[in-house]
Each structure stands twice: as structure tokens, then as C-alpha cells.
Amino acid sequence: MYRSIKLIDCTIIASNSLHCEQSTVEGTKVDVYYIQRENEEQSKEISKYSREILNIFKTFGEIKSKRLSVFIAPRDNGGGYCRPGVIVLTPNDKKQDEIGYFKYIAHELAHLWWLKANVSTWEDWLNESFAEYSALLALREVFGEEAFSKLITQYQSKSKGLPAIKGIERSDSKAWEVLYIKGPLVLYNLEKAKCENVKTSSYRQEKPIGISNNIKRQEAILMEKQRIHLICESGLSFYQLLAERFQKKKFFDGPVPFFQSSEGIYILYGEKYYYRNKSRVLATIIINGLSENKCIIDIIVGGGSQGITATLGSETSFLKKITKFIEALCEEKQWVMTVVKEKKPIKNKSGENNDPDDGMKKISPL
């Protein structure tokens, strides 16, 4: 996802008494500037935090700018902001507790990666929600799981009753809460669905929050997961073809945004509303290009209510529909598609996995 509207502002910072705290992280020079001597200790703290945070974020991929300037602006009003290569903070930001201040700096630093979506539409969630959740991940790394879980619990409480992410106007009174609270929680749920050891075709777990505003607080968020191995002409560009086909067939409600999260890894997502059980589901498709002609596709679908039989919900139906859609595309292109199924491994006497299929069940070549 790339910014369709260019930045139209110009940040100019000038002073005849600038002081600087310098450091270098992973080849990127970080300069923290301040004017008032009373902010010297704060500049050192920002420099220390920046080193820790950038070391954590380096897994996101390389940033274009090899120089980052952080300015402590001597003003009382207004918060911080980020522009390519420049972050502006205010002395008042330090009045937060240590964890809150760290998260704030991490959020602004995360915008070095998450700053390419249109800031004037709901797609700004790709900037703000991803930057906020990145900050939470950095916080978990530095302050521990307890501090992270405490904040997640607070976000869960504040997210109740918020409108859906998709389509929200940036001028909406709830836009800040949706992008900075609800959005990160969606990513938190996706992380849990991705990382937990689950059964591929029957994963169903209660989640603490809803994906859209039609999901009641008491309902469980149902999740399904599927993995596909694909051998095609060009695994790294497969995401482009898939997004175009989804768009052409109007597979989702609205456009199919996609972006590159790191080298060779692309993420597509979309929503669908099921009238039969009044449930909105969100699908995230993660494409990992292993080589020029091979890729792994992880499909994660989350919904908000069960079907009539109370066994198969919207998320199950939608997962199957997406899988069949990709299968039809593979048949058309004569690509090899393998759906990965989890099963109990066969172990030898030493306890090692001796299963030659390694848990995969082939449904093609097509």
C-alpha cells in the first residue's frame, strides 16, 4: 500500500542554539536535537530508547533514510509527529509515565516504516494502527509481557462499541479510538491466530474483542486458519495477480488493499458481510515468497457469530471460499497447489518426527 496523496506540508526547524545528542543504530545515524539545556537529560533518554526500539524494529526491513533527526520542540501545545527522516516531540510528552513515554517514542519511530497509506481516509489505519501495535511489540520486548498485557486489557475495554475500521471518516469523532485502539487490537488477534498451535481446518477460539461494530460484546470471535504451498511462475508477484482477481470478481466488500511488510512478504486483506447470520468477517492473506516460483500462503479469517447449525460459522465458509478461489486460479495457470493439513507426527524411538509428508496433504497438481 503506497501513499496516493503526497505530503503537502513542509517542516522547517531553525535555531541559533541547537544542541545535539548523537548515536548510530544499525547503520542509521540518530541525532536528537534540543534547544533548552533543561532538556539535555531528556535527549539522552530519547537517544537510548531510540537505539533499543530501532534494534527491535530492524526485522521490519531496511529504512531508506540512513539519518534520523529527532527534535524536542520548546512549546507547550501540540503533540508529536513524524515525517520522512524527521520526528518532532515536545517536552510535555515526558510528563507521561515511563512506559507510556517509551510507547509514544516507539510509535513515532515505527512511522519510519508505516507511513505510506493515504492519511485522509480510513486507510490511515495502515499507518496508525500498525505503528501503534509495533510500539506495543517494542514495549513487550523491553518491559515484559505483564506490561504489554495490561495495556491490551485497557485497549479491550476502550474498544467496546467502536465503529468498524473500514470506511470510517478521518473527521469522525471516533476515528482516533478506532485507529489507535481498535486497529492495534485487530492486529493483536491476528498475531495470536498466527502464532498459536492450532488445528488447520477446525480452529475456533474465543477472542476478547470484535472486528466490526456489529459484533456484540458477549459473542465469541471465531477464527479459522489455512496454509497453502504454491509453486507458480513467479511466487513474488503472485500477490498482485491475486489482488487483481479478487477486485475483478468483487470477492470482498470494497477494495482489496495490499502492502509489503518486509522483503518477499505481502499482506492482502478484505471484509465480507454475511446476511444469513448478520456476521462480518475479516480475511487476511499473508504471502511469503520463498523463491522466484514458490510461495507459502497463510489465510486467517475472523468472524463474529456461528451459523444456524452452531458449528460452521461465516469464518469457516469464507475460508473455504477463498481456498477454492485460489485453487481455481491455480487450475487456470496449471500451478501446483498444496494445502497443509495438521496431523499427529509419526515419531521414531529418539522422539524425532519421522513423517515423510511432514503434515502436508496434496490436492494438486492441477
In order, the DSSP letters of 151-193 are: HHHHHHHHTTTPPPSTT--TTSTTHHHIIIIIHHHHHHHHHHH
Residue type for position 245: R
> Average pLDDT of the chain?
74
The pLDDT value given to residue 150: 93
**Segments of the chain scoring below 50 in pLDDT:** 1-4, 196-221, 305-312, 343-366
Query: What pLDDT was estimated at residue 16?
Result: 83
Report the pLDDT value the prediction gives residue 243, as an integer from 0 to 100: 81
Angle at the Cα of 302 (from 297 to 303), degrees rounded to 5?
Answer: 145
Beta-carbon contacts of 310 under 8 Å, excluding residues fewer than 6 positions away, are none
pLDDT value, residue 280: 75
- Owner of C-alpha cell 545528542: 21
* Domains located in the chain, CATH noted: 19-158 (1.10.390.10), 200-362 (3.30.160.110)
| N-term to C-term CA, the chain | 32
Q: CB–CB of 296/228 below 8 Å?
A: yes
User: Of 241, 228, 239, which is closest to residue 268 (Cα–Cα)?
Assistant: 239
* Rg, the chain, Cα only: 23
- β pairing state of 67-72 and 28-34: parallel
Residues 6 or more apart in contact with residue 206 via CB below 8 angstroms: 220, 221
Which residues have a Cβ under 8 Å from the Cβ of 229 and sit 6 or more positions away? 294, 296, 297, 337, 338, 340, 360
Q: Is the pTM of this model over 0.75?
A: no
- H-run or E-run covering 228: strand 222-231
With beta carbons less than 8 A apart as the criterion, state whether 117 and 127 touch.
yes
- The pLDDT, as a whole number, for residue 175 is 93
| pLDDT tens sequence across 63-113 | 766 788 888 888 777 677 777 778 888 776 555 688 888 998 899 889 888
